[in-house]
Amino acid sequence: MISIDFQSKNTSQQFSLPGSKYIANRLVVLAALTNGESNFSNVPDNDDIRTAIAGLTQLGAKFEFSDNQLRCQGFGEELNAPTEVVYTSHSGTFSRFVVAVAALFGDWIHLNGSAKMNSRPMADILDALSQSGVVIEASEGGRLPLKIKGPIQTDSISISGAISSQYISALLLIAGRCRQGLKVQLTTEPVSKPYIAMTLELLNIFGVEVQVAKDYRCFEVSAGQAYTPQTMQVPADPSSASYFLAYAAITASHICLSNFQPELSVQGEAGFAKVLAQMGCKIWQDELGYHCQGPEELVGITVDMGDMPDVAQTLCVVAAFAKGKTHIHNIENLAFKESNRIEDTATELRKTGLEVTTSADSMTIEPQVMHAACFDTYDDHRMAMSLSLLACRIKGVTMCDPEVVSKSFPTYWEYLRKLGFITDKIGKE
């Protein structure tokens, strides 16, 4: 448990951000699928990326990772299944991606995750792969741990897009390695379309062409396409940026993110600053970087967060200090993240005296006079990072298990200390 206090150092701060874990997660898979060497810089060093590197190494790729520089030698043409269990830890993204990668292999591959990961849904992608000729022996409810034996036998797969866009991204990432090509047909409207767009953009960079229907319900990859090794820099992470933009909004201060270029990102969370602008923040960009100036008074809004689900919790915290209610909707899939990010976030915010109402796909935050609270993090990195910002305006905030930030942003608490936060008793007691 830690205590979190805030003593502002000054009203203006500037720094750079780690690379996007969403892009990095896709890059390591794509690089592994090549027959050559790829090199990436500004790769975030977090638990999820380390887990992906370890798992793909077991499957035959070779990695060198140091000082945010990553070198990867791909599988090549010959795929050899490992005899040991591939461990996916807490990573939902890698768990979904590696199931698809494993479906390329012709021998049994055993996959297992943490207890928390093993409780999360996987049935949609497992059912889709099973229908394509992949043999899968999964735990009850279509969950990890499981055994899987490929390869994919058909040239078409149907899958729901209602729960997670990661299922669609997983299939698209490996489609170019399918012997007969692959058509991915969605039986529902997909959630989180920007993440699919990100996958498509990266596939294009690696030389894999995808035919995309206008309604984003059908994707077709022809056979015989080679994945071309790449050298590139991972752009700054929009979800990580959200916490510092929110800090400026809450404290009526100025922040400059020197390496953040949201206009170049297809990730939905890159639009978070525009949401803050609706609440009264001033946003601009110049040669120094991307700027946010918080207003004297924030105003509540109604906003669709369907395209930027991973910053919905950040917005909830900003909304706590606004004048008037904030209604956040189209967030149904938040219930299937590392925690139930609708109900669990509401529970934690209510501890401070806030009035929070929820439905299956929405949250409404009505500001009240707030008081100190001890927050649980639910083994959810975004819960910890979002709730920490309440300490900007509330004295006496404490938090259990702050170490969960290591999943995506291990240096998060160091960044907060640069802003004037004081944290004591970091680490498990």
Active site residues: 310
Q: Which two tokens stand for residue 271?
A: 């639009």
Which residue type occupies 47? D
Angle at 30 between CA 26 and CA 34, to 5 degrees: 170
DSSP secondary structure string, 23-91? HHHHHHHHHHTSSSEEEEES---SHHHHHHHHHHHHTT-EEEEETTEEEEE---S-----SSPEE-TT-
165-175 vs 92-102: helix crossing angle, rounded to 10:
40
DSSP state of 118: G
Cβ atoms of 206 and 179 within 8 Å: the answer is no
Strands (E), 270-410: 282-286, 289-293, 298-299, 302-304, 322-323, 326-329, 355-359, 362-366, 374-375, 397-399
Half-sphere exposure of 231 (CA within 13 A, CB side): 1
**175, containing H or E segment:** helix 165-175
Cβ atoms of 182 and 152 within 8 Å: the answer is yes
Q: How many angstroms separate the CA atoms of 152 and 194, rounded?
A: 27
Q: How many angstroms separate the CA atoms of 220 and 184, rounded?
A: 6
Q: How many angstroms separate the CA atoms of 84 and 373, rounded?
A: 44
Look at strands 322-323 and 298-299 and give their pairing. Answer: parallel
In a 3-state reduction of DSSP, which class is residue 323?
strand
Backbone angles phi, psi at 179, to 5 degrees: -60, -35
Residue 105 to residues 142, 175, 220, Cα–Cα distance (Å):
20, 13, 21
